[in-house]
Chain A
Amino acid sequence: MSCLSNPDLLVVGAGPAGLYAAIEAASAGLTTVIVDEGISAGGQLVKQTHKFFGNEDFFASVRGFDIARRLLKELSNMDHVHNLQESSVIGVYEDGIPVLHLPSDTTRLLQPERVIVATGASEKFLQFDNNDLPGVYGAGAVQTLMNQFGVMPGRNVLMVGSGNIGLIVSYQLIQAGVNVKAIVEIADRIGGYEVHANKAMRMGIPIMLRHTVIKAIGTESVEGAVICEVDENFRPVASTSQELAVDTICIAIGLNPSIELIAQAGGEVKYIPELGGYVPVRDDNMRSTAEAFFVAGDVSGIEEATTAMIEGRVAGLTVVKDLKGNTDLKKLESLKRELVAFRNGPTSARIREGLRKLGIVSSSKEHQYGNPNNPEKYMGKMRPVIECYEAIPCNPCETSCPTGAITVGENINDVPVIDYEKCNGCGICMTECPGLAVFMLRELPEEESALIGIPYELIPLPEKGEKVHLLGREGETLSDGVVQRVFKSPNKTHGVYVKAPAEIAGEVRGVSPVSKTDNTYVCRCEELTVQDVEKAINDGYTDFEELRRRLRISMGPCGGRTCRLNTLGMLSRKTGRPIEEFAPGVLRPPSIPATFRSIAGQEGAKDE
């Protein structure tokens, strides 16, 4: 079929960015092929059980897997779209782009007019003793197991990293009934959003700042972990080490953009740590320096699904303009403004700095802090208490409020302000807030107590009349209480109302059932340890390309995804030269090993 071999557009990756890119292109009539490695489309969305921040136009307050479903439904109603699942692009060649279909072990050569690379990112690997033991898992792997296949990753988990992914996955582990012993964070502050951290902490998960993991214990599987404090240079202080009894160590120290295809296409890549490592150089229409290739989503810089979706749309609309001569410019411009607005808050400062290095200016106007609550006057009225003090790009509280009592305003990064006069105490904002940062409160002065509504996403859902522990912001048990009311929400963030003594009413932020129970590798393919790499550097292999060839780093089956950045980091530390000065090395095809059979037996091979 010629439109399959020679489509207008090839979209690589069916995550949030790719799906939206395809929707924009296909709805403008472009023949579009989507190639995706997953068993089903949706990318990381499929594993995301939390509700999204952002605004209503961009699925705020909708859970990731539901977003994937909606986008796929939209695509399935379109003509000209071919979706190739369980398929991998092997590489970008001068004579075409071969795609490997894994189940049938066949390949097919595509010659598209334009390519949107929305390949996302892969997990960064961390160096510590025995880090190759089974049970040391990337955060994405833990999400896949638990949220896609419904398999418990372990019983007791140590989370390494307190960025949004580490915090969200910790919370999801608790939802799956797994015990999270601790989150260790090497920095002196929590990396992710405050609301995500609060969610984890009120589950009783300690977040240990200035701590890292130095050893996994076990022979055939993780049986424990040794953690310790770090000094001001992030070096472990051995005297502070302690052992944790865990069977799983979850690595959530960040993601590494999957730039292989752009590099193979001849697109320039640049090291920009604010965006996650090496990223493609691109313009604000998402076009790389290789004319026919675009990028969108995490591959263009690690951010979040909402911006990935907008970037996908921008790329899709620009491809339409390339091939049809015109596009919906109004929509394109408004999406670009939308991106700037999302990145306008203090939590996006790093992203803005990274984009600036790429020559893409995002507004640097600082956000305006709102004045969240001033409840004095409304004591005794059922009303929300919004513990959202950090400016993040999000406004479902505003858009879900049936009485218009909550205002975030023009800049989506502002914090909400409540007009208690208009509020009717319905509690919808509590169930909509993606950060679970809205609580309900009504003082009961005659009883010297208060009614508190808590957003709740665990099972079993407590029942009315059930006795529960009342938990503070760090998961500490403050007192016991009785469930007064359960507000079941279709989006599965339910409201549990409990009665608590008046003096702790401002502290209760969680409930739990009363019966609640409770060798350092750099490169796995070649089995190279930190010592191996350091020795080679000491031997004078200080050119990354020579080091690579000396050690076969990045020549194994993983293609360097595990080791490349870590090796560059070691080289940078040892030589005192910034990573930017080293070339990332060639990212040779195939991007995924392919059998002889698949390459030889091509589907839809063109008749010569």
Chain B
Amino acid sequence: MSRLAQHPVIEFVRGKKISFEFEGRKLGAFEGETVAAALHAEGIRYLRSSPGRQRAQGFFCAIGKCSSCLMEVDGMPNVRTCITLVRDGMVVRRQKGKGELLE
């Protein structure tokens, strides 16, 4: 867990406590957090395995621009998890490769 409990300048107003699934594990999060931030708070930085060289990658820009945080969310591939809000019951998977369109 690496959420800041207190900060000298900022007061964090966190949303409702919710839970989501990552690779079969149930994780906690707060409403209003992005998927990437919620995963990071749980110590998960490795978000996808790159299509070409199968390298571990995480986010870089956190504003939806650099595309290195693409994950499979509720069955949809290539979701930019750094700008997608986590929802209760969401199923998040580490994306391997370019993303499958057909089951």
Contacts and interface: CB of A to CB of B under 8 A. Distances in A.
Instruction: Check A-B contact in the complex, CB < 8 A.
Output: yes
Contacts of A219: 56
A168 B52 CA distance: 36
Interface in B1-20: 2-4, 6-10, 12, 14
Contacts, number: 143
Interface in A441-486: 457-459, 461
A562 B62 CA distance: 13
Interface size class of A (residues with CB under 8 A): 35 or more
B61 A149 contact: no
* Chain A interface helix/strand/loop/mixed: loop
A173 B32 CA distance: 22
| Interface size range on B against A | 35 or more
Interface string A207-244: 00000000000011100000000000000000000000
B8 A492 contact: yes
Contact of B64 (A37, A148, A177, A524): A37
Interface stretch (A129-137, A359-367, A500-508): A129-137
A39 B10 contact: no
A559 B61 CA distance: 14
Given A37-B64, A526-B52, A150 B4 contact: yes
B34 interface: yes
Contact of A220 (B41, B56, B84): B56
Contact of A527 (B7, B33, B53): B53
Interface in A551-582: 556-559, 561-562
B22 interface: no
A148 B34 CA distance: 10
Contacts of A149: 12, 33-34, 37, 41
A524 B50 CA distance: 9
A432 to B, nearest CB: 15
Q: Which of B3, B55, B84, B85 has the most CB of A within 10 A?
A: B55
B37 A140 contact: no
B43 to A, nearest CB: 9
A136 B12 contact: no
B71 to A, nearest CB: 12
A387 B15 CA distance: 42
A342 B50 CA distance: 45
Contacts of A349: none
Nearest to A147: B10
A259 B68 CA distance: 21
Interface string B64-96: 111110100000001000111100000000000
A325 interface: no
B45 A39 contact: no
Contacts of B63: 37, 122, 140-141, 144
A352 B1 CA distance: 46
A546 B18 CA distance: 49
B97 to A, nearest CB: 12
A605 interface: no
A122 B61 contact: yes
B37 A151 contact: yes
Contacts of B83: 37, 86, 102
A123 interface: yes
A524 B8 contact: no
Contacts of B62: 137-138, 140-141, 144-145
A103 interface: yes
A149 B68 CA distance: 20
Contacts of B50: 132, 524, 527
Nearest to B48: A134
Contacts of B32: 39
B61 A175 contact: no
B96 to A, nearest CB: 13
Interface in B47-61: 47, 50-53, 55-61
Contacts of B82: 141
B1 to A, nearest CB: 9
Given A134-B58, A137-B59, A151-B41, A122 B10 contact: no
A78 interface: no
A459 to B, nearest CB: 4
B2 A175 contact: no
A380 B62 CA distance: 51
Given A134-B47, A134-B57, A558 B8 contact: no
Nearest to A49: B9
B59 A141 contact: yes
A559 to B, nearest CB: 8
Nearest to A149: B37
Contacts of B55: 132-133, 519, 527
B50 to A, nearest CB: 6
A39 B85 contact: yes
B67 A558 contact: yes
9 contacts: A39-B32, A125-B60, A125-B66, A138-B62, A138-B66, A146-B4, A148-B37, A175-B7, A561-B65
Interface of B: 2-4, 6-10, 12, 14, 32-34, 37, 40-41, 45-47, 50-53, 55-68, 70, 78, 82-85
Interface of A: 37, 39, 49, 63, 65, 86, 88, 102-103, 122-123, 125, 132-138, 140-141, 144-153, 175-177, 219-221, 457-459, 461, 492, 519, 524-527, 556-559, 561-562, 592-593
Q: Which 6 A-B pairs have the closest CB atoms?
A: A134-B58, A141-B62, A134-B45, A557-B67, A150-B12, A527-B52
